[in-house]
């Protein structure tokens, strides 16, 4: 009975406090999945926290100043499916890893891209570049 009580208390606590989308990912694929979860709901703060390098420089103003961007992301990507896997591309990126992403929209159309991800000095994985954009 005591175990059930602890379990129920834990569940209630998590439901009341919530679990943030942003958490440190141990692997590049995990981080990319978390990034696209944030894209689907238009969470620009979390999106920005997963970006670094060239891609952050290119998207910083859009993420920070365009008040309509969260709505655009929800409308465009909210119902999309994201297939995320290691890239089979033989091209090597200096200290980064390549991740292939296929985005399948609700109308059946799709888009594929590769992301370069690398660990920053604190050990967190960041998307630093988008290839074939």
Give the structural domain span for 120.
22-131
- Residue 15: its pLDDT value, please? 40
The residue ranking higher by pLDDT, 7 or 46, is: 46
Q: How confident is the model at residue 16 (pLDDT cuts 50, 70, 90)?
A: very low
Q: Is residue 6 domain-resident?
A: no
Q: Is residue 3 domain-resident?
A: no
Q: Is residue 15 domain-resident?
A: no
Q: Is residue 8 domain-resident?
A: no
Q: Is residue 127 domain-resident?
A: yes
- Residue 27: its pLDDT value, please? 87
Number of domains in the chain: 1
Q: Is residue 81 domain-resident?
A: yes
- pLDDT of 4 > 90? The answer is no
Q: Is residue 4 domain-resident?
A: no
- List, for residues 71-115, the tens digit of each pLDDT value: 999 999 999 999 999 887 655 555 689 999 999 999 999 999 999
* Under 8 Å between Cβ of 48 and 68: no
- Residue 95: its pLDDT value, please? 62
Q: Is residue 30 domain-resident?
A: yes
H-only helix segments in the chain: 2-17, 28-41, 44-49, 53-65, 69-77
Give the separation between CA 11 and CA 3, rounded to whole angstroms: 12
Instruction: Assign residue 31 the CATH number of its domain.
Output: 3.10.450.50
Mean pLDDT, to the nearest integer, of 51-65? 95
What is the average pLDDT score of the chain? Answer: 83
The residue ranking higher by pLDDT, 10 or 70, is: 70
- Residue 14: its pLDDT value, please? 44
């Amino acid at each position: 009975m005591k175990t059930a009580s602890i379990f129920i208390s834990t569940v209630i606590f998590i439901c009341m406090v919530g679990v943030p989308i942003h958490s440190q990912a141990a692997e590049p694929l995990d981080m990319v999945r978390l990034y696209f979860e944030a894209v689907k709901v238009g969470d620009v703060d979390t999106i920005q926290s997963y970006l670094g390098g060239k891609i952050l420089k290119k998207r910083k103003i859009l993420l920070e100043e365009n008040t309509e961007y969260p709505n655009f992301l929800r409308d465009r990507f909210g119902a999309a499916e994201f297939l995320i896997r290691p890239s089979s591309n033989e091209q090597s990126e200096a200290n980064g890893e390549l991740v292939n992403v296929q985005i399948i929209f609700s109308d059946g159309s799709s888009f594929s891209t590769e992301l370069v991800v690398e660990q920053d000095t604190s050990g967190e994985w960041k998307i630093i570049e988008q290839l074939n954009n």
